[in-house]
Amino acid sequence: MRQNALLRSGKGLGLPGTARQKVAKVAKVTVVPPFVAPDEERHDHFALRNGVRCAGVHLIVDVHQAHGLDDIDLIETTLRRCVDAAGATLLHIHLHHFQPNGVSGVAVLAESHISIHTWPDAGFAALDVFMCGSANPDACIPVLREAFQAERVEVNELLRGRRA
């Protein structure tokens, strides 16, 4: 019987049936504080860097006097090599080739990301290498230096989400 036919028949409009009685009962709820596992048992993918527990290691990388910064295929291959070298998990790569030149893009990782922005005319590229868990962002530096034949690579490190 369709719902509107049931209402027209008048059935179920008097005393509540057994199904309604069960819904009407209020269950007693006990609030239990959340379980917090000790740090060594947690699966939050925090990283440990020089004895400091943090959400992740963020390397700010400037590549100077570099070559191949307008070669989108080289850049994609280099990002993939960085991911492999770091022991990270690649989810997606998106690159955009600007006109007349330059490339911007990101490799999205399960462990965070690697982003790149290039200025081929200036021989300069700016990268962010941010990784959590057991991934090793430092392993990307020699890959970048070699791929872009960089004369100089500057690296600044930030420990994101430091834990006391």
Residue numbers annotated as active site: 112, 117, 132
CA-CA distance, 112 to 120, in Å (whole number)? 26
* Measured CA distances, 145 to 29, 114, 124, 154 (Å): 60, 15, 12, 10
The H-assigned helical ranges of 33-94 are 72-86
> Which of 149, 157, 154, 156 has the alpha carbon at shortest distance from 120?
149
Residue 115's SS3 state is strand
The angle subtended at Cα 163 by Cα 154 and Cα 142, nearest 5°, is 25
CA-CA distance, 62 to 146, in Å (whole number)? 14
